[in-house]
């Protein structure tokens, strides 16, 4: 082998081990999963939220009848009012049900997806009690509905179950490092409780349950006002305002594009034999918040400065998923690099949110 080729390989593998390669961990290029939804009903709780609305759209495209249940605390009706939704409504395949899952539901479905919860730190902290009840009683109510209907149950858990992790990258068998009385606990602990509850519904009542832990996700339909880092930076850059970097900006996150996540959700829900599974789903490319800010500056062509603001309490220092479990089980790997996904997201913000 030529020396240059060998050097290149060595450099690549050392960059990978230091987390410097920012693309997907493996160059897997799987075909999207084929699912026949005709004649089957999927209930999506949180269906008009950022991720929920993309999931509803993917289910409609595969022929499902979709019941979108949302309290509109953080979901937005505009997320489910585009042409795909209007057409499905006309065919009586899409129904929006305004309902808070804290209260029992009388609906039936073949597949129940639980994505209901405020999910950005400022949002869940502003609605802390509601967040706790949504994760606990809300999950109970959806599990009961699934049991009554004989449905399969999917739950969107979170990388927050790992808290401010002492193990890096995070694998599913890491139990986490969560402050149970801190400002993030309302979200973290309600999600941890939900995981425990779901496992007991599986063990004691035989329900077919599937869970994923979602790492930071971004894309079109991110609420510009929910205070997440990607939406904040893009909004600030497009308005010519300073980009707010919390703390030193050296804390890291791994950002996954929403289409990669939706593909993983479909695979986890519709692959036979995955009862009681839990998978990390995220893009292992790891970025500091300073790097993310500079990337947004460059891609928007913004001259906005960076301004440092205090780091929120209990803000995790490092976060990166180990996705080897889902790669091995389902051949899934993220396909969209951060830069490419950011371009799409910025284009959407320009058109839909900023009127530019």
Distance CA 101, CA 140 (A): 9
Q: Shortest Cβ distance from residue 230 to ligand UDP (Å)?
A: 6
Q: Shortest Cβ distance from residue 137 to ligand UDP (Å)?
A: 23
Q: Shortest Cβ distance from residue 253 to ligand UDP (Å)?
A: 5
For 132, the token pair is 């706790």
Contact indicator for 266, 228 with CB cutoff of 8 Å: no
Beta bridge partners of 68: 44, 96
Decide: is 217 part of the binding site for ligand UDP (CB under 6 A): no
User: Where do the H-state alpha helices sit in 46-96?
Assistant: 50-61, 83-90
Contact segment (CB under 6 A) with ligand UDP among 11-19, 149-157, 239-247, 268-276 equals 239-247
Judged by CB under 6 A, which of 251, 283, 300, 335 binds ligand UDP? 251
What residue has token string 């349950």?
209
Distances in Å between the alpha carbon of 173 and those of 280, 296, 347? 10, 34, 38
Decide: is 216 part of the binding site for ligand UDP (CB under 6 A): yes
Name the residue nearer to ligand UDP (CB basis): 137 or 315: 315
Is the four-CA dihedral 270, 276, 277, 282 of positive or negative sign? Answer: positive
Buried b (16+ CB within 10 A) or exposed e, 68-87: bbbbebbbeeebbeeeebee
Decide: is 157 part of the binding site for ligand UDP (CB under 6 A): no
Decide: is 314 part of the binding site for ligand UDP (CB under 6 A): no
Decide: is 312 part of the binding site for ligand UDP (CB under 6 A): yes
Q: How do beta strands 111-114 and 152-158 pair?
A: parallel
Of 124, 187, 233, 257, which is the active-site residue? 187
Cα-flanking dihedrals φ and ψ of residue 170, to 5°? -90, 125
Judged by CB under 6 A, which of 120, 157, 280, 304 binds ligand UDP? 120
Q: Shortest Cβ distance from residue 245 to ligand UDP (Å)?
A: 5
Please confirm, yes or no, whether 187 is among the known catalytic residues.
Answer: yes
Decide: is 228 part of the binding site for ligand UDP (CB under 6 A): yes
Return the closest-CA partner of residue 215 out of 248, 264, 182.
Answer: 264
Name the residue nearer to ligand UDP (CB basis): 151 or 289: 289
Number of residues that bind ligand UDP (CB under 6 A): 15
Contact segment (CB under 6 A) with ligand UDP among 22-30, 202-210, 262-270, 310-318 equals 310-318
Q: What is the DSSP string of 237-293?
A: HHHTPPEEEETTS--EEE-EEHHHHHHHHHHHHHSTT-TTEEEEES---EEEHHHHH
Q: Shortest Cβ distance from residue 231 to ligand UDP (Å)?
A: 8
277-306 residues near ligand UDP, rule: CB under 6 A:
289
Residues of the shown chain interacting with ligand UDP in the complex, contacts defined by CB under 6 A: 120-121, 216, 228-229, 232, 244-246, 251, 253, 289, 311-312, 315
Q: Which residues are catalytic?
A: 187
């Amino acid at each position: 082998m030529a020396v240059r080729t060998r050097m290149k390989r060595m450099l690549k593998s050392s960059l990978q081990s230091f987390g410097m390669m920012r693309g997907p961990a493996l160059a897997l290029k799987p075909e999207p999963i084929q699912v026949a939804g005709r004649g089957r009903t999927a209930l999506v709780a949180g269906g008009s939220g950022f991720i929920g609305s993309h999931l509803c759209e993917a289910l409609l495209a595969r022929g499902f009848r979709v019941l979108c249940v949302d309290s509109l605390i953080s979901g937005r009706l505009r997320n489910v009012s585009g042409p795909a939704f209007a057409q499905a409504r006309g065919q009586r395949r899409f129904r929006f049900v305004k309902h808070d899952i804290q209260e029992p539901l009388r609906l039936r479905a073949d597949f129940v997806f639980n994505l209901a919860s405020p999910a950005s730190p400022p949002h869940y902290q502003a609605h802390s009690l509601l967040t706790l009840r949504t994760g606990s009683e809300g999950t109970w109510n959806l599990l009961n509905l699934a049991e009554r209907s004989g449905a399969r149950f999917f739950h969107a858990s979170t990388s927050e179950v790992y808290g401010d992790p002492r193990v890096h990258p995070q694998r599913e068998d890491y139990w986490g490092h969560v402050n149970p009385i801190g400002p993030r606990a309302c979200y973290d602990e309600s999600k941890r409780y939900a995981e425990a509850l779901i496992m007991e519904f599986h063990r004691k009542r035989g329900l077919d349950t599937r869970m994923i832990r979602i790492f930071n996700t971004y894309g079109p339909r991110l609420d510009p006002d929910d205070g997440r880092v990607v939406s904040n930076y893009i909004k600030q850059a497009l308005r010519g305002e300073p980009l707010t970097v919390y703390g030193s900006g050296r804390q890291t996150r791994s950002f996954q594009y929403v289409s990669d996540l939706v593909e993983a959700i479909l695979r986890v829900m519709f692959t036979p034999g995955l009862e009681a599974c839990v998978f990390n789903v995220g893009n292992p490319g790891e970025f500091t918040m300073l790097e993310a800010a500079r990337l947004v500056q460059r891609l928007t062509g913004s001259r906005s400065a960076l301004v440092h603001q205090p780091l929120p309490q209990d803000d995790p220092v490092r976060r990166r998923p180990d996705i080897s479990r889902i790669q091995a089980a389902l051949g899934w790997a993220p396909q969209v690099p951060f830069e490419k996904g950011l371009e799409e997201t910025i284009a959407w913000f320009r058109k839909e949110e900023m009127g530019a």
